[in-house]
Amino acid sequence: MTGSRRPTLSDVAHEVGVSAKTVSRVLNDDGPTSARTREKVMEAVNRLGFQPNLMARNMRRGSPDSTIGLVVPDMGNPFFGTVAGGIEDAVRERGLTLLMGSSAEDPAQERALIETFLSRRVSALVVVPSVGAHHAYLGGVSSGPPVVFLDRPGSGLATDRVVSSNRSGAQEGTAHLLAAGHRRIGFIGDLPAGLYTRRERLAGYRAALADAGVPYDRNLVASGHDQGASAAATEGLLDLAEPPTALLAGNNFTAMGAVTALARRRRKDIALVAFDDLPLAEILEPPLTVIAQDPAALGAAAARTVLARLDGDRTRPRAEVVPTRLVPRGSGELPPR
């Protein structure tokens, strides 16, 4: 069989030498079949990369239990909770149920979770990918359910993706600090260093510096994946012989770490801009300026793409960019010397 079309139920039946009805009976666990026949059918299913069209099957049956699998890095991150809500709101009226699991940014755990979702024959997959190559276990997407990469593009695969305007957002946030008079601006990014969102936001930071004629200083770039590590990274920047007068925090967790460190040091003179909005950001002292993403819109855009694919859209993979917006709160002006 060529890779130009999706394998069908009839292809599986022909491979095994049984009727299509027998294959359907095995896949749906609907009626008696011998253990040997079941084994041969499942071997053929795996070998051909066959994935039944559960959306169509469940619509015929009137079943409400079609599912979409969502893989996120961290179930405890409110950003991804809002993303999930955006997806769920968009697909609920189509009778689709959202299943959600966490990869913990571990490629092996991500792969196991995706394979679990595929074994449950989900109607579609939405994946916030970890760093690594995804073609090894998602290379057969043309013969399986629709796959949409969310927040970050997958590596080694051309498939649908929905991301924020990370680079231009970070560039706008850094330009805001430069316009306030700052020239030593620190950047605190997520880990790992190869993460797409970190790379794009760092590139935006560097582009703004270059536009203003300010040299890039590697000593002003630090990393922290969680709040504690980001607080430590902030304190490390403050302890430099020539510390920054302002900081750009690369996401919500790094921002919370930076806020903690600045409060601990009682450094209200350090301006801070955060990528992602935070609860109560407007009542901090000083109020926190943010580059706000729209996680609900990200989720809704991913859901629209999934539904279009389930409805038969076979156009080339699409890339949708959801805009960020600068929300200025604190003045951020350089204090007089």
For the chain, the average pLDDT equals: 87
8 A C-beta contact, residue 195 and residue 250? no
Over residues 124-147, mean pLDDT: 74
Helix H, strand E, coil C: the string for the chain is CCCCCCCCHHHHHHHHCCCHHHHHHHHHCCCCCCHHHHHHHHHHHHHHCCCCCHHHHHHHHCCCCEEEEEEECCCCCHHHHHHHHHHHHHHHHHCEEEEEEECCCCHHHHHHHHHHHHHCCCCEEEECCCCCECHHHHCCHHHCCCEEEECCCCECCCCEEEEECHHHHHHHHHHHHHHCCCCCEEEEECCCCCCHHHHHHHHHHHHHHHHCCCCCCHHHEEECCCHHHHHHHHHHHHCCCCCCCEEEECCHHHHHHHHHHHHHHCCCCCEEEEECCCCCHHHCCCCCEEEECCHHHHHHHHHHHHHHHHCCCCCCCCEEEECCEEECCCCCCCCCC
Residue 133 reports pLDDT greater than 80: no
Find which of 44-48, 123-127, 205-209 is predicted with most confidence, using mean pLDDT: 205-209
pLDDT tens-digit readout, 146-184: 999 999 998 777 889 999 999 999 999 999 999 999 999
Return the pLDDT at 331: 59
Return the pLDDT at 7: 77
Return the pLDDT at 64: 33
Over residues 173-202, mean pLDDT: 94
pLDDT tens-digit readout, 74-125: 988 899 999 999 999 999 888 889 999 999 989 889 989 998 888 888 889 9
Return the pLDDT at 3: 47
Alpha-carbon gap, residue 135 to 138, rounded angstroms: 5
Confidence of residue 63 (pLDDT cuts 50, 70, 90): very low
Query: Which domains are assigned to the chain?
Result: 1-50 (1.10.260.40), 166-293 (3.40.50.2300)
Alpha-carbon gap, residue 87 to 68, rounded angstroms: 9
pLDDT tens-digit readout, 238-252: 999 999 999 999 999
Over residues 128-139, mean pLDDT: 70
Residue 35 reports pLDDT greater than 70: yes
> What percentage of the chain reaches a pLDDT higher than 90?
55
